Structure 1
């Protein structure tokens, strides 16, 4: 069983919309579901550094400030074979949808806050979105 950390970015635009990624269908974790930009924390970086790196890699966007809003174990899912600590960072952006560069996944879109729970959310994204 693998043990690792992931950093997720809860990025909010001026209207309050949240940036969500529609994950690829052929990946191991949360295929085809909606999640927050983010990924593995590399051995040589802090969770905050990973959050900034993953945000840039997956969206082409940067955030001046990211604030840790939660760290803890990934929510339980039957048959999930890993032990994961999730670090959720929140930040604000003035970016618009047309500024987003899709670097990973099927889509990366700003979703109005009142519509985020209408999507098939990955378990970590669902937990993080309940924080706002």
Structure 2
């Protein structure tokens, strides 16, 4: 039970995108408390405000984003080096992305993959709220619409554990000059696995049987800049005894095996930003890499 002698001082409001990523702020070195850490957008309640009103105002002031419908995840008591206070947490689904955020406070405000949050320096109150937000996201993460475009691709893994990626050239409508998977649009009536194998062969000359591949998962992909929609991409993988010389690059600038240690320095496609790191963290990849 909350201690009634500790009043509600602070609020936060995070947004969750179709990938299940959380909107978070990286505080800069000028922050009066918790400098150089990460938190959810939020701040102190002003006189006469309810917690909900304060959360909506703080989000708008810090990001330029205005929302109306939010879910209340409750209030938490926080003990910190800066004192004891109550912290009220709100969350809402969104189809917005980083390009829609006008960062008005801190170093950056971006959507963060929750799988990577553990590697960040987190504000005490945000650390307490994370479990509630994660639990909410399980059932409330917005999904691409039923008529979303379908895409499919394959990640090949060589004997070193390097992964096959395509460097796109300046011509494609989606993600020019970025690195991503070999893959593309599903044709009408085509099953995702069928399309993934077709795209792989069309782009690289590599032909695989359905029995050779494993399903990685289905990922939401932000194609709003190209099509105005969030779409779905089915991803598969296969271990192969191939090298760059065995790949016939038929699309893009190059299609080569890439050392996973260098992936962080590549400019990835919108889909690749979520898919490639998730795959490299997976037990499936670990079982394929030496």
Question: When the two structures are superposed, what TM-score results if normalisation uses the length of structure 1?
Answer: 0.89
1:59 matched to which residue of 2? Answer: 63
Report how far residue 67 of structure 1 moved. Answer: 1.3
User: 3-state DSSP class of the match of 2:80?
Assistant: coil
Distance 2:40 2:127 in 1: 9
Aligned Cα root-mean-square deviation (Å): 1.6
Structure 1 gaps of 5+ residues are none
Indicate conservation of the 8 Å contact 1:4/1:83, yes or no: no
Indicate conservation of the 8 Å contact 2:8/2:88, yes or no: no
2:91 matched to which residue of 1? Answer: 90
User: 3-state DSSP class of the match of 2:104?
Assistant: coil
Indicate conservation of the 8 Å contact 2:31/2:106, yes or no: no
Indicate conservation of the 8 Å contact 1:55/1:62, yes or no: yes
CA-to-partner distance for each residue in 1:54-85, whole Å, 9 max, x for gaps? 001101112231111020212x234x2x3321
**Quick check: which one's helix share is greater?**
2
Runs (4 or more) in structure 1 with deviation over 4 Å come to none
Indicate conservation of the 8 Å contact 1:66/1:91, yes or no: yes
Report how far residue 40 of structure 1 moved. Answer: 0.5
User: 3-state DSSP class of the match of 1:30?
Assistant: coil
CA-to-partner distance for each residue in 1:58-117, whole Å, 9 max, x for gaps? 01112231111020212x234x2x332100001111111100000100110101121122
1:69 matched to which residue of 2? Answer: 73
State which of 6, 13, 19 in structure 2 corresponds to 1:9: 13
How do residues 17-32 of structure 1 correspond to structure 2 at under 5 angstroms? 17-32=21-36
The more displaced of 65-74 and 49-58 is 65-74
Indicate conservation of the 8 Å contact 1:5/1:40, yes or no: yes
CA-to-partner distance for each residue in 1:2-26, whole Å, 9 max, x for gaps? x661111121111110011001212
1:42 and 2:29 are equivalent in the alignment? no
Structure 2 gaps of 5+ residues are 1-6, 135-290
The more displaced of 122-131 and 34-43 is 122-131
Indicate conservation of the 8 Å contact 1:24/1:106, yes or no: yes
Distance 2:66 2:53 in 1: 12
* Structure with bigger RCO (C-alpha 8 Å, 6+ apart): 1
Paired residue total: 128
